[in-house]
Amino acid sequence: PPGARMRVGLTALTMAEYFRDVNEQDVLLFIDNIFRFVQAGSEVSALLGRMPSAVGYQPTLSTEMGTLQERITSTKEGSITSIQAVYVPADDLTDPAPATTFAHLDATTVLSRGLAAK
């Protein structure tokens, strides 16, 4: 269900925060595909009857992404570093989902389909 899929990333982040804050550890958080979080949010939004915004995404896309991404941070107790795979629909980097994600990242590496095909 979309509600459960939407909570997975936030749950993993809560666990990372526990290791950072309680165990005072540095944590490396891998997010397999952050687009799944966006897609689940879009499905939940539709189930709630919200009007979609740009390209059919939920109107709360920016807020939801910020809620997750801004929790990935360092404190006096430790740090959380995240490596995230980002699916880019139709290879369009201006699509609202990847564009919103990239706005929160410190560094990105874009893989080329042309290079991969060689």
For residues 60 and 71, give the distance between their C-alpha atoms in angstroms, rounded to a whole number.
17
Residue 101 · residue 72 · CB < 8 Å: no
- State pTM to two decimals: 0.88
To the nearest 10°, the Cα dihedral for 88, 93, 99, 101?
40
For residue range 2-37, list pLDDT tens digits in order: 999 999 999 999 999 999 999 999 999 999 999 999
For residue range 30-66, list pLDDT tens digits in order: 999 999 999 999 999 999 999 998 788 999 999 999 9
Where do we find the tokens 């290079």? 115
For residue range 63-100, list pLDDT tens digits in order: 999 999 999 999 999 999 999 999 999 999 999 999 99
The CATH classification number of 2-117 equals 3.40.50.300
